[in-house]
Structure 1
Amino acid sequence: MILAAAVRRSGLDALSARASNDSVEFPHFLANHAPMVLVALDKLGASPERLEEWYETYRAKSGLIRIPDPVAPIDARTWEAALGGRAREADYRDFFAAEVRRLGIAGAVQTYLPRLVQGVAASATHPLMRLAYGILEQDRREVGVALAYWAACYLPLPAATGAQPKTEDPAEVLGAVDAIEGVHDYEPESDLLWHNIRAVGALPGFRPVVDWLAFDADAPRRMAATSLALFVGTMDFAAVHAVTGLHWARLVSPCLQNQEPLYRAFWQVIASLVPKIGFPSIPSPGELERMRRREAPPWSAIKAAAIRSDDEHDISLTFSCLQEEEVWNDPLYRVAAARRLALIP
């Protein structure tokens, strides 16, 4: 058993090292999920052979590209000047790799994430994903790449002002987006999630949204529950990122002295996606309870189906649902994963 685990770990490490040489995005501006999904597959129980097969399939299907050539060195005095410059990926990789070596994982995250957090919309929140998986694995290389990814694709939304919150209910924040002027007829540059986020975030009426939710120790649980309800009520692609993103935020937040800005900025991103999702209604408590009681396959069957899938979002959502159920003790996560994998209607 120990030998088999060592073989699996060796195979994952080798593949992860190869995957780290690919750029963080591929044309056009799509997030490279491979390094994170390999970890998820391994934790779901995939064999080394399946990891290899999945990576090669994903690499060919996506057309992954190499890291762009360096432009100029970045240091602690200049690192903020190039935020949002995708061409600086290699420069940011070099800088943050050195900072993680110098400060350690926790030290680097504590030093740099407070400045980056308002740009969590970067690449549709996938730098947060990469950072979360790097922290989960305690992988210094991946943490450095994640911070570089976040910096190179930095996409800020309006900052919190400390204004009086409107509600303790995350669902009320999402529902109130419907009344923002221009939110029904905005025009994103393309259908990419982050283009939608950017376009909605630029509406003048969207500026106060970041302050609407009252934040306390229970807020992450309420946000996770609302995200799950949003997903099972819509089964929408954008809503997948609400569920997985709260998982990622939960993994990252212990590294921060103040968790509120991360959660507040993340919920602002989900609010910006409400038009893209179609201004959905959140299912009622009764409807959610009926969904919760549905018969669904055991986790062993769900994990096996996810492992067979070539869809990165199937795997990512399944792993996040598995991990979140362990924390929040809500069987609706198992139902959600089973529905995403078409194991139940």
Structure 2
Amino acid sequence: MDDTTGTLDEALERIHLSGPERDGWLSNHAPMAVEALVRHGQASAVHRWLDRYGPKLEEMPGAGTPVTARNWREALGDPRRVADWTAYFERETAGRPWRDVLVEWWPRLLPGIAAGATHPVIRAGHAVRTLLAGRANAPRVRELAHALGYWAARHQPLPVLTPLAPASSAMAALDRVPPVPERSGGIRDRFVQLTGFPDWPGQEPLGAEAARSALQELVRASTHRYATHGHGDPIMLVHAATAPNAVLRTLPALPARLWEPSLRAAWAAAAAVTAAYTPRAAVPVPSPAGPADAEELFARAAAHGDDHTIKFTDTALDVGDALAFAAARRAIELNPPAFQGY
């Protein structure tokens, strides 16, 4: 659904005055949250939400040496170069169609999909969804540039991983992901402990449609699993679903040859977050208390105001079944509300 109110474009212009991170490396969630709010009929809440979230944000860091077609490899994965990377992608998307830039850079960035706790790819997925839904105007194209710049600056591949025993489904694979042994540190400390994931969806090459189907299965399984495992870390475990869903949203803008590698990268991201934060035991699926209607459920997430809860509910609505809705209600229950009086 395209935004005809102008609210999204106004919000993006406000957000683009800020950098992609705050407090060292915490992500700026504003562009992702406001896109979801507008998409689900909550445009009237966007500027009020930004007024409350905005004080957390920081200015874009200063620029250094420009990133170019010749030196980009040495700048890849250097978070100090985030302003340089953002300026590079602003130039690229100003001079070429945004799809051409995306197709060129998507396979370069995919190996670093888990970087920045998966926030860069999630931001890119929201940006692409907006561009596919309506006008490719300046604020929306610039948002894609900011997302890709953030991803390039934070790009960091996972350790080399050993394929473990095959799993028959995405849910079975997620259930068999080995938890990291030491959980006292942050996500980067946990990711360096990763050694292997279950072999899913198998080693045989997949056609484009089979890859998309498997990616849909992964998003559904990760969303459902939050209903019973989200208590392990209510904020971080949303990314096991929102990251692969960002990839799924991007597929229509990519050639079919990139769909299978996109699936495999999305599986690595979902499995990495699961390994880092999954609890030792599941809990029963919550009883169906609360809204069962999609519009009412998202309105409740919007009133709750937490950025991760808004984004996870957005993904749960994409999945669209009763267990996904239960998972969204669980996120609303587990995560602290952003607004007083909720």
TM over 0.5: yes
Equivalent position amino acid for 2:18 in 1: D
Map of 2:324 onto structure 1 = 333
Please say which of residues 14-23 and 234-243 is displaced more in the overlay.
234-243
Cα separation, 1, equivalents of 2:33 and 2:127: 12
Cα separation, 2, equivalents of 1:131 and 1:25: 15
Aligned with 1:137 (options 130, 140, 146) = 130
CA contact (8 A) 1:253 1:259 kept: yes
Q: Does 2:8 correspond to 1:12?
A: yes
Cα separation, 1, equivalents of 2:156 and 2:28: 17
Map of 2:22 onto structure 1 = 26
Aligned with 2:292 (options 289, 297, 307) = 297
Offset at residue 296 of structure 1 (A): 4.1
Equivalent position amino acid for 2:240 in 1: A
Mapping 1:1-345, distance limit 5 Å: 6=4, 8-9=5-6, 11-48=7-44, 50-60=45-55, 62=56, 64-138=57-131, 139-158=140-159, 166-178=166-178, 183-185=180-182, 188=185, 191=186, 193-197=187-191, 199-201=192-194, 205-206=195-196, 209=197, 212-214=200-202, 216=206, 217=210, 218-236=213-231, 237=234, 238-256=236-254, 257-280=257-280, 296-325=291-320, 330-342=321-333
CA deviation profile, 1:227-271 (whole Å, cap 9, x unmatched):
023211112423211222222111112333322222212222222
Offset at residue 27 of structure 1 (A): 0.7
Equivalent position amino acid for 1:177 in 2: V
Equivalent position amino acid for 1:251 in 2: R
CA contact (8 A) 2:80 2:153 kept: yes
Gaps of 5+ in 2: 132-139, 335-342
Judged with a 3 Å threshold, the aligned counterparts in structure 2 of structure 1 residues 219 and 297 are, in CA distance, closer, same or farther, namely closer
- Percent identical across equivalent pairs? 27
Offset at residue 66 of structure 1 (A): 0.7
Instruction: Give the paired residue count.
Output: 313
Judged with a 3 Å threshold, the aligned counterparts in structure 2 of structure 1 residues 270 and 25 are, in CA distance, closer, same or farther, namely same
Cα separation, 2, equivalents of 1:272 and 1:331: 26
Equivalent position amino acid for 2:242 in 1: T
Equivalent position amino acid for 2:155 in 1: Y
Cα separation, 2, equivalents of 1:322 and 1:93: 31
Offset at residue 293 of structure 1 (A): 7.0
CA contact (8 A) 1:121 1:194 kept: no
Please say which of residues 291-300 and 64-73 is displaced more in the overlay.
291-300
Structure ranking higher in helix proportion: 1
Offset at residue 176 of structure 1 (A): 3.8
Cα separation, 2, equivalents of 1:165 and 1:12: 45
Judged with a 3 Å threshold, the aligned counterparts in structure 2 of structure 1 residues 28 and 140 are, in CA distance, closer, same or farther, namely same
Judged with a 3 Å threshold, the aligned counterparts in structure 2 of structure 1 residues 195 and 58 are, in CA distance, closer, same or farther, namely farther
CA contact (8 A) 1:210 1:268 kept: no
Root mean square deviation of aligned Cα: 2.8
CA deviation profile, 1:302-344 (whole Å, cap 9, x unmatched):
122122122101211122212232xxxx23222222232249x
Gaps of 5+ in 1: none
